Amino acid sequence: APKAAAAGGDKTSVAHDTGKPVVTYPIPGVAGAIAKATLDARNQAERVEVTLGNVVTEFTYANYQDWNNDLNKIEAFYAGTLVEKRNGAIVRDLTTTETETGNVYVVMPVPASVRQAVAGSR
């Protein structure tokens, strides 16, 4: 969802509904599909509604926790519940019991100025 919202460019908007951020954006590659994501206080998805024609698919997320086993807690939060509805009918209802997200890392490009400074010091 964050990548899709960023890809929406000037077609992506952010508003606040009862104090919560709501991001509206087109779904890349799906003509006419629009997503509306409501975020919680920690900017985690609480509800995402995707509309395509007369079909509305809604995803609700709750109970975010670090679901890794007790020996591998790293504060990688994941939704404990996910419910998917299509036009109001439940399609999927999932409950998380354990995850293995212990290898979270960030790839950060090295700026050219830093590369040049390091190369110049050799």
**What tokens appear for 51 in the block?**
């509309």
pLDDT digits 0-9 by tens, 53-95? 999 999 999 999 999 988 888 888 999 999 999 999 999 999 9
Helix-then-strand count for the chain, H and E? 2, 9
From the list 52, 54, 16, the residue with the least C-alpha distance to 37 is: 16
From the list 76, 117, 118, the residue with the least C-alpha distance to 98 is: 76
Does this model's pTM top 0.85? My answer is no
- Residue 25: pLDDT band (50, 70, 90) is very high
Q: Are 61 and 45 in contact (CB under 8 A)?
A: yes
